[in-house]
Amino acid sequence: MATAKVIFATITGNNEDVADIITEKFEDLGIDVTKEEISQADATEFEDVDICVVVPYTYDEGALPEEGLDFYDDLQELDLSGKIYGCAGSGDTFYEDDYCRAVTDFSRAFKTAGATKGADDVFVNLSPEGDDIQHLDDFTAKLVAKQAE
């Protein structure tokens, strides 16, 4: 059975909601998945799973979550060759160019670690609702399909 790890960071609860949607879809697809808050997680945990997902918030003007800075740095030092990754997260379009920047930054960190991107990044404006849920379900299904290749 394939395994997945979903790491999230949240202030408002929106990204935990995003992580919950992704986790539930993994379960529906028969994937053994665990979810963990970023301050409680260690990046090396991704070495023990097939699919790696980070759901970060973007703080202020494009900053990474403060509680995830060490995780971000450690992630880039890993060798995640053969792992599939995906990044999704909520943000606020008010911040224009900085909208969901942390999602893009974490995606680059996975690439630096040698992981294979399994789905396009997903940006959610504020709280996931309506079409966002379908986009997150599709995102998760693509990660599973890529892992199965």
Q: What is the pLDDT of residue 26?
A: 98
Q: What is the pLDDT of residue 62?
A: 87
Q: What is the pLDDT of residue 105?
A: 97
* Residue whose pair of structure tokens reads 């609702």 in the numeric block: 129
Distance, in Å, from the CA atom of 115 to the CA atom of 39, rounded to the nearest integer, reads: 22
Q: What is the pLDDT of residue 133?
A: 97
Q: What is the pLDDT of residue 121?
A: 98
- pTM for the model stands at 0.96
The sign of the torsion formed by the CA atoms of 57, 70, 107, 20 equals: negative
Q: Hey, what amino acid is at 128? A: P
Q: Where residue 51 falls among pLDDT bands split at 50, 70, 90?
A: very high
Q: How many CA atoms lie within 13 A of 94 on its CB side?
A: 7
Average pLDDT over residues 116-144: 97
Distance, in Å, from the CA atom of 46 to the CA atom of 49, rounded to the nearest integer, reads: 6
Q: What is the pLDDT of residue 61?
A: 82
DSSP-H helix ranges across the chain = 14-28, 69-77, 101-112, 131-148
pLDDT digits (tens, 9 = 90+) for 55-105: 999 988 888 999 999 999 999 999 999 999 999 999 988 888 999 999 999
Instruction: Give the least confident one: 5-14, 24-33, 58-67, 113-122.
Output: 58-67
